[in-house]
Structures are given as C-alpha cells and as structure tokens.
Amino acid sequence: MDKTKFVLDEKDMPTAWYNIQADLPEPLPPLLHPGTKEPTILPPPLFVEALNEQEFSKERWIEIPEEVQAIYRTWRPTALHRAYRLEKALDTPARIYFKYEGTSQAGSHKPNTAVAQAYYNKQAGVKRITTETGAGQWGSALSFGCMLFGLELKVYMVKVSYGQKPYRRILMETWGATCIPSPSTDTQIGQKILAEDPDSPGSLGIAISEAVEDAGTHDDTRYSLGSVLNHVLLHQTINGLETKKLMAEQADVYPDIIVGCVGGGSNFAGMFLPFVRDKIDGTKPDLRIINVEPESCPTLTKGPLTWDFGDVAGMAPIAFMNTLGHGFIPPPVHAGGLRYHGMAPIICHLLKLGLVEATAVPQVATFEAGVTFARTEGILSAPETNHAIRVTIDEALKCKEKGESKVILLAHSGHGHFDLAAYDGYLAGRLEDYAYPEDKVKEALASLPEVPAK
C-alpha cells in the first residue's frame, strides 16, 4: 500500500529558515523611502531591528529561535498528502500532492511568520502591535502569535471581509486581540477615506495605511505585515523546507509543477523558494512554478513591474514590484487575502528572471474547483487556496490529455471554515465573476510615485 500522507517527526523539523537572497542571480532592487525616494531600511518606528536585519540579510540560513521552534512544534511539521481521490475523480495519470497548512491553530500558513514576528517584537521590548487583515487569516494568526507572547494587538480588518466573516473577528477576540473594520475613524487616513466615500469596502492597502499610522503615532507600538516583505517570506520557508525533505526522503519524488495562490505572495513563496534554488543552480531546469491570482486583481499578469508604494496612503516604503497602482481597490471577491495591489518583490524579481510564471483565474471557477476538492479529499479549503486548486486541476487535466504522469505539488494554504457563506453563495448560484477593472487600474497607475532614474 502506497502511503497517503507523509509526516516528519518533530525532531526532524528544519531549524533554520532559507533565505533566497543568498542565491539570487542578481540582487533585489532596494526599498526606497516614501519621502526622499532614497534607498532605505524598514522604518525603525515601525519594525524592530531583528526583522530589519532579516529583511536585507544575504545569509543563506537563518536560525529559528528555540522559543519559536517550541511553538512551531505545537502544530508543525505539517503533513504532505497524496490526493488519490482527486486523481481518481479527474481520471488523470498525474500524481497530485498537497502540503496542508490548515491544521495550525489559526487554520493557515500565517502563524509561521506571526509567531516569529511576535517573538522578535517581544524580545525588543515592544508592548503593542498593529496590523491589517484581509480575509482575517493574518489577523487571527497574529492574534494567536501575540497571545503567546503577551503582546497587545489591534487589527484593522478590510471592511468587506469584516462584514462577510464575523467569525474571524470573534476568533481574534477569543485570543485577546481588538479588531475593527477598515477604513475606520481611529486614524486620519481612515477618516479621510470615509469622508470621500462613506461606503468604501476597504482594501488591504487602506488597512495597511491605518495600521502604519497607528504604529507610527504610538511609542510602545510596532507594525506587523503578514506578507510581501522579505522577512515574512523567509519565515514561511519552513513549509517549503519540510515539503522538500518529505518528498525526497519519504515520497521519493520531485515536483514537475508547483502551484500556489498569491496575494502578497508569502504563502506560495514559503513553499517554492527552497525549490527555486534548484532552478537557479541548474539542477532542475524544467521545474514549473505557477503563481495563481484572481482575474479581478491580476497583479503579476497585468500589472507593470515598477516602483510603487506598499500602501494606499504613500506612507510605506516604495518597492520595485508588479503593481496595479497603490490607489487601486480590487472588487470584493471572497478571497480577501488576494486583494492586494502589489506583490512580494522577491516574486516579482523571480518572475522577471523567468524563474517562475503566473496566471489569473475567475472567482466562480475557483469555487467549482474547491467543491471538487471538498467532494474528493474532504477538505473545505479557503477561497484563496481554491485559486491554486483550480490550476492544479487544470494542469492535471492537461496531463490526462497528454497521457503524462507529472508530479504536481499544491501549496494548500488553509481551510475555509470561516468562508462558508461564500460556499453557500456558490452552491445557490449567487456567486459572480468580476471583470478585470481595467479603467480603475489605469487610473491608479497614473498616480505612481515619481522615482528619479538610478
């Protein structure tokens, strides 16, 4: 009998994160200061020194502190599953594996960095943290992380998701955090946006601006970002490292295709970075790494690679990334975690270098894929994850057409237990696709920051 799932023993859990910056064929562009437009570190009023060091480090391996490892061990290592029933339902010769991050206490991959960030902030004497959240995955993960280290937390939650997902708020409150809908009246930027549009559904960009303003105006407070930045992607590599080890040592396979969803990019980068290294050094030239995003927020597939602010208000550093414009507010798709105008600079850089690829999918088709997954593998997946499942199924069906037995690895980022209203809508035929809002993007791209040529 072939194995259904593969699990590392605790003692074999990786003890260092993998830093791709040690192996990039050309270095990342710098971050620029939003005011001076000069290269900058992460603003010290917002980030503690340890995280700043990780952001720019060129060390290949960064040790995971024992306190963080101890907490990781409460749910990690997570299992790699073989999706036999999905393969059978699709009648495909493809071999589908998925690494499932939904067994963490918060239900997704997000605690991998939440725990680490809370730890480093605690070490630096910080008392309080602010953050933003889209679908609520990040906010609840950081609530979990802050609870573990006795830190206060205030979460600005994108208003459309706050309304759609009340359970996420309650989860955060159960862990002791405060959660309010964004835009809010608690910050100047929130007040300004509400004055212009009282019905604003919010966006990750707006929520980031509010959390940044809050942290910047309170001495004991730092800000925490759940994706995009290099140190966040770094912390997520624990997942890719576990997967690579499991595939090599237990499943005895290497993926032909790796698929994951990208909003800010940390979930999928955490999975593929340890693998992309094999593409950089020429060991695995044919490995395909597919970033999947929503058609209604197609940052990698439609956004230019250029300089843009990380947030709506222009208070965050300027990054060189694919962007739809920092003023762009995506349609209210259920995959709230994918509603971000930009993308992790590391992913954009790898896309430019031809080391990864990207594709965009419409909302209804992702739920169709999610229901197929639920009715075969049993797991009710997050709407974000359904984007990756859609492409996994499509690639498996291509294998069927061509009679190829490829190994497809799906980065399964978490469960959808708090997203069932969206499934209800899908099953009742009420869910809709949103066209790519080309005009809005055009408008947003007209307001990019002016950055002097290097």
Q: Report the site for a copy of itself in 402-431 (rule: CB under 8 A).
A: 415, 417-418, 420-421, 423-424, 427
Binder to a copy of itself among 253, 380, 407, 448 (CB under 8 A)?
A: 380
Cα gap 325→321, rounded to integer Å: 10
Residue 140 has a CB neighbour count (10 Å cut-off) of 33
Question: Please, what is the minimum distance in Å from the beta carbon of residue 358 to a copy of itself?
Answer: 29
Q: Does 174 bind a copy of itself (CB under 8 A)?
A: yes
Question: In angstroms, what is the minimal distance from the CB of 128 to a copy of itself?
Answer: 17
- The nearest distance, CB 269 to a copy of itself, in angstroms, is 25
Q: Which stretch binds a copy of itself (CB under 8 A): 105-113, 216-224, 296-304, 325-333?
A: 105-113
How many residues interact with a copy of itself (rule CB under 8 A)?
44
Q: Shortest Cβ distance from residue 144 to a copy of itself (Å)?
A: 6
| Cβ-based nearer residue to a copy of itself, 169 or 326 | 169
Decide if residue 248 touches a copy of itself (CB under 8 A).
Answer: no
User: Interacting stretch for a copy of itself, rule CB under 8 A, among 173-181, 303-311, 322-330, 430-438?
Assistant: 173-181
CA distances from 86 to 28, 123, 376 (A): 39, 45, 5
Other Cβ atoms within 10 Å of 118 Cβ, number: 28
Sign, CA dihedral 359-364-370-371, equals negative
- d(CA 208, CA 308) in angstroms, rounded, equals 14
The answer to whether residue 81 forms part of the interface with a copy of itself (CB under 8 A) is yes
Residue 97 as a binder of a copy of itself (CB under 8 A): the answer is: no
* Residue 70 binds a copy of itself (CB under 8 A): yes
- Using rule CB under 8 A, residue 377 touches a copy of itself: yes
Tokens of 302: 């439609």
CA distance 35 to 254: 46
CA dist 442 and 454 (Å) reads 25
Sheet containing strand 407-412, strands side by side: 5-6, 80-82, 95-100, 407-412, 257-261, 288-294, 357-361
Contact assessment for residue 98 and residue 80, using Cβ atoms and an 8 Å cutoff: yes
The residue among 196 and 252 lying less far from a copy of itself, judged by its C-beta, is: 252
Tell me whether residue 413 is exposed, middle or buried, using C-beta atoms within 10 angstroms of its C-beta: 0 to 12, 13 to 18, 19 or more.
Answer: buried
Beta-carbon count within 10 A of 420 CB: 13
Q: Is 73 in the site for a copy of itself (CB under 8 A)?
A: yes
Q: Does 144 bind a copy of itself (CB under 8 A)?
A: yes
Least Cα distance to 140 among 164, 107, 181 occurs for 107
Applying CB under 8 A, which of residues 14, 34, 43, 107 lies at the interface with a copy of itself?
A: 107
Q: Which of 260, 294, 281, 439 is nearest to 365 (CA)?
A: 294
Question: Which CB, 147 or 280, lies closer to a copy of itself?
Answer: 147
Beta bridge partners of 123: none
The nearest distance, CB 43 to a copy of itself, in angstroms, is 31
For residue 87, state whether it binds a copy of itself (rule: CB under 8 A): no
Q: Is 4 in the site for a copy of itself (CB under 8 A)?
A: yes
Cα distances (Å, whole numbers) of residue 369 to 18, 265, 380 = 32, 21, 11
Using CB under 8 A, pick the residue from 58, 103, 217, 281 that binds a copy of itself: 103
Which residues of this protein are in contact with a copy of itself, per CB under 8 A?
1, 3-5, 7, 9-11, 70, 73-75, 81, 85, 103, 105-107, 144, 147-148, 166-167, 170-171, 173-176, 371, 374-375, 377-380, 415, 417-418, 420-421, 423-424, 427
